[in-house]
Amino acid sequence: MSVELTIDGTRVTGKKGQTILEVAQENRIHIPTLCHHSLLPTNGACRICVVDIGRKDRLEAACTTPITNDMKVETKSKRVLDARRLNLELLLSNHRADCVTCEQDGQCILQDLAYELELDLHKTAFKPQDIDKPVDDSSPAILYDPNMCVLCGRCISACNNIRHHNVLSYKNRGYDTLVIAGLGELFTDSDCVNCGECIQVCPTGALTEKPSRFMGRWKELEMTETTCPYCGVGCTLELYTKDNTIVKIKGKEDALENQGSLCVKGRFGYDWVNSPERLTTPLVRDDFGEFREATWDEALDLVAGKLAEVKDQYGARSIMGLASAKCTNEENYVFQKFFRACIGTNSVDHCARLCHAPTVAGLVKAFGSGAMTNSIQEMLDTDCFLVIGSNTTENHPVIAKYIRQAVLDRGAKLVVADPRKIGLVRDSSIWLRQRGGTDVALLNGLMNVIIEENLHDEAFIIERTENYEELKNTVEKYTPERVERITGVPADKLREAARMYAKADRASIIFSMGITQHTTGTDNVLSTANLAMLTGNVGKHGTGVNPLRGQNNVQGACDLGALPNVYSGYQSVEDPLIRRKFEEAWGAKLDERNGLTMVEAFNAVSRGDVQAMYIMGENPMVSEPDLTHVEESLKKLGFLVVQDLFLTETAQYADVVLPSCSFAEKNGTFTNTARRVQMVRKAVEPPGNSRLDWQILCEVATRMGYPLFYGSSAEIMKEIASVTPIYGGITHERLQKTGLQWPCPVFDHPGTQFLHRHKFSRGLGRFHGVEYKPAEELPDEDFPYMLTTGRLLQHFHTGTMTRRSKVLDTLVPECPIEINPADADSLGLADGDLVEVSSRRGTITGKTSVTDRSDLGTVFIPFHFAEAAANVLTNPALDPDSKIPELKVCAVRLRKP
């Protein structure tokens, strides 16, 4: 319904429910604001935007006052300007106007207002006072100067209403009001997770990035919009640089996926880009086995020559390539093309093998497409979440934001199934604490209750699926009581959770490595698909089976064929028609057999079947299970090329190390967990002589007799589109604004928000009857504890980047070994004590962290820390379908050293 009103004598039209400010902005009538922020609920606190609506007794805040018909608004009358100026003078009377050295200089709203309202600070009636409050510089990330604070409340709203961290609040009242963290303690002592959302919205210099202090002011900074290099959420970053150095990072506020939000890694973990430890020149082994610097020509010739030699001597299949979930789509495409067309083998894999290989395997079997079915934004409309095996608040913090918003703001239900008491448990309606490795039993139990109580979606099952009888017969045996015996989850809780999920209008399953990193990983994934199909929760907005991908471009690396069984776009290498298409496109004869997977390759090295390895941006010496075995394999290799940013744990075993470029130094695309292909843009020059990954690969290929040349990454994307139907309509030009979600087959296709809308990718969704199998290695007398591994909020993967970030490594400098208080007690361990953890494969030592996040008898160790590498302990036993190792469960013993 339209509303007509007059603003400053101009007749304007707005919609019912709009505020005066919104209508004014639409009509290009400027009303200054301070506390108002487009991403935050308005509180009308600062009273800068006051306008006259014809009331004698008061002015009204434009940001909170709804328009009415025939309203007459004055935005610039003397009365209005007087009130505005007074409020501004009052704010400045309690503000340390250190503009000369303030980080916010040039971007400060207070400064802008003072200029706009022509304030003369020397003539104001009020001299600044009470601006000696103690500054909180306790956090390595967030610098809080209360003397700059104008109490607009933005930070508190961001912390509480947007992120639901509930750390910031007000202390005292009246003039003594202060923004505080926690109960008024230092930021470091509070529960602050350093997401920096408060900094993002602070209009003054009260909350700033501590590492950016004196690194450069706004007017000196250049902005580059790009995609975050950490997890799979794919937050859009604004990278601010000065003199080829990243100074600070902000979240892009109108970005679809993150809406301005970032986590501590995305906002503060960038200094490794400019690290002096970066490789700047190729390294080759000298006669004494030591690294020496080499020219690109020498190194490239050596690599090309050696690979050709190995190929000649042992055949193409004796060369293994590890592509990278950290590299761009274009680079992964070139990598697999180089391996398939030039070297002549399908033995290309990457770390998806260690995270979501079962997702791809399982979801392809059930649905026909191995990716997150729905979109991140849809989570805001979900009515019930089943979060199983995903520590979302730490590993996908920005997705956790949307889950919390749905749950806490809209009353959506949240079922958390996790052996650990993860962050989301706090917000959950029901928490199912299943024993490690019992997910199939748990999911079968939920389905048993749903069928038993007739809560399944019969119409959906009949119309859209097949093989239902097999599922029904299987889950029949999983009564809640039996499931309780297997999983430890009380039968009644299981029933309650099943009802909650099944009765919801839109239910979404969110999972991650807690589901996949098992010898039953594919079974687990199939079970989540079964559950979703059983209740008709696929192919609809706000529902789905949503695996959260762990790395920035693990989705893209899979999409672009960095897998041993498929070309780009999941096109089977065994399909002769497809193979012929690629042979024509690439002008080479292609191998018709599937290649080796990552863990298989390391085993093949021991047997002598793999002689050379080319590793681009991966660090198996920390990420693989059973590192002792990996080390033996790397040593045994005839030739190892590592292409990376740093001399990683893996690179130290290389024969040739090639320095490549980080995300900040290149153009290209990443595909996020929700299949959104997004731009990566160059912000700084690469250090020294380091080169782009795809350029290095082209050089090697060309030197091996397969001329490979591209003018730019955009050109590579064109080739990708021409051979990859799901990327068929994707070009760099089309991605500039928000990116596109595949499948996007043609150039005018808008992308696909959620999959399987009217029919599954494979036609009918297929149920699979899946039986519970226990984990490969369970606690016993010798190794009585169950070890589970995972990630921390502050670190990423093998730590190559985050361990070199000052902020992140200061926040968590060493490996915490999480032990239940009762277990710690019986072992005589106190918080901070050194503890020795051993499995059948090795021993590491770390610091005890006593916490009830770990269940009784369970130990959690993050795998980021090379010096206490959890993967020394883990079990390399593989899931038969997807070949993922069982990183989530193995047996260990603990000892106080």
Question: Which residues contact another protein by CB under 8 A?
Answer: 42-48, 50, 57-59, 61, 64-66, 79, 82-84, 86-87, 90-91, 93-94, 125-126, 150-151, 153, 169-170, 172-177
Tell me how far CA of residue 734 lies from CA of 393, 464, 683, in angstroms.
Answer: 32, 33, 20
Task: Please tell me the distance from the alpha carbon of residue 293 to that of residue 658, in angstroms, as a whole number.
Answer: 10
Shortest CB 21 distance to another protein, Å? 12
590 by DSSP, 3-state: which? coil
Residue that is written with structure tokens 């990859």 in the block: 724
Please tell me what DSSP assigns to residue 763. B
Bridge partners of 11, per DSSP, are 6
Question: Closest approach of Cβ 17 to another protein, in Å?
Answer: 10
Q: How far is the CB of 150 from another protein (least distance, A)?
A: 8
Tell me, rounded to whole angstroms, the distance of Cα 572 from its chain centroid.
28
The least distance separating another protein from the CB of residue 87, rounded to whole angstroms, comes to: 5
Contact in structure between 544 and 532 (CB atoms under 8 Å): yes
Given the complex with another protein, which of 17 and 750 has the nearer CB atom? 17
For the residues of 310-362, what is the DSSP string, one character each?
Answer: HHHHH-GGGEEEE--TTS-HHHHHHHHHIIIIII----EE-THHHHTHHHHHH
Nearest approach, Cβ of 132 to another protein (angstroms)?
Answer: 16
Q: Which is nearer to another protein, 176 or 312 (CB)?
A: 176
| Buried-exposed string 47-77: b where 16+ CB fall within 10 A, e elsewhere | bbbbbbbeeeeebbbbbbbebeeebebbbee
In the complex with another protein, the residue whose CB is nearer, 41 or 880, is: 41
Q: How far is the CB of 156 from another protein (least distance, A)?
A: 10
In the beta sheet, which residues pair with residue 178?
171
Would you say 30 or 79 has its CB closer to another protein? 79
CA–CA separation, 585 and 721 (whole Å)? 12
Q: Closer to another protein by CB, 88 or 416: give it.
A: 88
Between 93 and 281, name the residue whose CB sits nearer to another protein: 93
Q: Which is nearer to another protein, 174 or 711 (CB)?
A: 174
State which residue, 94 or 280, has the beta carbon closest to another protein. 94
- 846 phi/psi in degrees, rounded to 5: -150, -175
The single residue listed with the structure tokens 């104001």 is 124
**Least distance (Å) from another protein to the CB of residue 831?**
32
Report, in Å, the least distance between residue 781 CB and another protein. 51
Can you count the helices (H) and strands (E) in the chain?
A: 30, 39
Helix (H, G, I), strand (E, B) or coil at 745: coil
Smaller CB separation from another protein, 43 or 474: 43
Please enumerate in sequence order all residues whose Cβ is within 8 A of that of 57, keeping only pairs 6 or more positions apart, or say none: none
When the beta carbons of 27 and 64 are compared against another protein, the nearer one is: 64
Q: How far is the CB of 504 from another protein (least distance, A)?
A: 21
Quick one: three-class SS letters along 159-191? HHHHCCCCCEEEECCHHHCEEEECCCECHHHCC
**What whole-number distance in Å separates Cα of residue 264 and Cα of residue 808?**
8
- Residue 99: CB minimum distance to another protein, A: 19
Backbone angles phi, psi at 7, to 5 degrees: -120, 120
Give min distance, CB of 277 to another protein, in A. 47
- Find the shortest distance in angstroms from Cβ 407 to another protein: 16
> In angstroms, rounded to a whole number, what is the distance separating the alpha carbons of residues 872 and 869?
6
Residue 459: burial class (beta carbons within 10 Å; 0-12, 13-18, 19+): exposed
Tell me how far, at minimum, the Cβ of 59 lies from another protein, in Å. 5
Name the helix (H) or strand (E) containing 837. strand 834-839
Determine the Cα–Cα distance for residues 796 and 867; give it in Å rounded to an integer: 15
Backbone angles phi, psi at 414, to 5 degrees: -135, 115
Whether the CA torsion 279, 280, 283, 288 is positive or negative: it is: negative
* Pairwise CA distance, residues 784 & 778, whole Å: 8
Place of tokens 């672009």: 560
Q: For residue 67, give the nearest of 9, 21, 36 by alpha carbon.
A: 21
The CA-based dihedral angle spanning residues 453, 456, 462, 464, taken in that order and rounded to the nearest 10 degrees: -160
**DSSP string over 68-115:** -TT-EEBSSSHHHHHHHHHHHHHHHTTS---TTT-TTTTT-HHHHHHH
CB of 54 to another protein, least distance (A): 13
**Choice between 11 and 127, CB closer to another protein:** 127
Residue 300's SS3 state is helix
Is the Cβ of residue 169 or residue 712 nearer to another protein in the bound state? 169
Query: Shortest approach of another protein to residue 93 CB, angstroms?
Result: 6
**Of the two residues 53 and 829, which places its CB atom closer to another protein in the complex?**
53
Q: Identify which of residues 49 and 630 has a Cβ nearer to another protein in the complex.
A: 49
Q: Is the peptide bond before 686 cis (omega within 30 degrees of 0)?
A: no
Question: Which CB, 101 or 172, lies closer to another protein?
Answer: 172
Least separation in angstroms between residue 157's CB and another protein is 12
Nearest residue (CB) to another protein, 48 versus 890? 48
Residue 130 Cβ, how far from another protein at the closest point, in Å? 9
Closer of 173 and 607 to another protein (Cβ): 173
Q: What is the nearest approach in angstroms of another protein to the Cβ of residue 416? A: 25
CB 394 within 8 A of CB 795: no
Select 53 or 664, whichever has its Cβ closest to another protein. 53
